[in-house]
C-alpha cells in the first residue's frame, strides 16, 4: 500500500526549534508549503475547529489521490489561521477524534497535538498505521504518544464509519 502524501501549509508563527513539521520535512515525510498556490488543491485539511471528524468515510477521497494537509500555525492564532485557509483553499476541513498530546509543549492536553501527532492519528484512521509509526519514529515522544493513546487508537482503528468513530471516542473521554 502506497504512503498517503502529507503536506503542511506553514505560516511561520511558531518557534522553528520546536516545529514538528520542519523535522518531518527534513526526514522526507512531508512537503512544506509557504505559498498557498503550491499547496494541494484536493484533499483533507486537518482542522481542530472543524465540526466533522476524519475517519473511514474519507478513505475513498484519499485513495483517489487526495492529499492529507496539516496547518502549521500557533495555537494562539488558530482561529484566524483556519479562517484564512478556509477562504483560500477548497480542501475538506476535518478534525480528529480526541487523543492526548505527548509532545513536550502540550503534554497530556486533549487535542493539543503537534502536526506529526495529528498526522499519525489521521493516518491510523485511514488504515495506514505503518506510515503513522514511521513518521513518529524520529521524535523523542513517539513511544509515549502511542502508549498514552494505545486504547483509544486501537478502538478508533476498528471503527467502520465516522459516526461509529464519533461514538467510540466518548468511551475514553468525557463529552464536552
- State the pTM of this model: 0.91
126 or 85, which is more confident: 126
Confidence of residue 16 (pLDDT cuts 50, 70, 90): low
What pLDDT, on a 0 to 100 scale, did the predictor assign at position 125? Answer: 96
| Domain parsing of the chain, residue ranges | 6-171
Most confident of 14-18, 56-60, 82-86: 56-60
Would you say residue 15 has pLDDT above 70? no
Confidence of residue 65 (pLDDT cuts 50, 70, 90): confident
CA distances from 58 to 52, 88, 94 (A): 11, 22, 10
Q: Which residues pair with 33 in a beta bridge?
A: 9
Would you say residue 82 has pLDDT above 90? no
Amino acid at each position: 500500500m502506497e504512503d498517503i502524501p502529507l503536506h503542511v501549509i506553514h505560516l511561520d508563527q511558531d518557534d522553528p526549534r520546536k516545529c514538528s513539521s520542519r523535522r518531518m520535512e527534513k526526514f522526507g515525510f512531508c512537503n512544506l508549503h509557504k505559498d498557498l498556490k503550491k499547496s494541494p488543491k484536493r484533499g483533507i485539511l486537518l482542522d481542530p475547529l472543524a465540526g466533522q471528524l476524519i475517519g473511514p468515510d474519507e478513505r475513498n477521497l484519499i485513495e483517489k489521490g487526495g492529499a492529507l494537509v496539516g496547518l502549521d500555525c500557533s495555537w494562539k492564532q488558530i482561529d484566524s489561521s483556519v479562517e484564512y485557509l478556509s477562504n483560500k483553499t477548497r480542501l475538506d476541513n476535518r478534525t480528529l477524534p480526541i487523543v492526548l498530546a505527548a509532545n513536550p509543549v502540550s503534554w497530556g492536553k486533549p487535542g493539543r497535538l503537534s502536526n506529526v501527532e495529528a498526522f499519525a492519528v489521521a493516518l491510523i484512521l485511514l488504515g495506514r498505521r505503518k506510515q503513522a509509526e514511521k513518521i513518529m519514529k524520529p521524535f523523542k515522544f513517539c513511544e509515549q504518544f502511542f502508549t498514552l493513546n494505545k486504547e483509544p487508537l486501537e478502538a478508533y482503528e476498528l471503527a467502520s464509519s465516522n459516526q461509529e468513530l464519533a461514538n467510540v471516542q466518548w468511551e475514553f473521554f468525557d463529552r464536552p
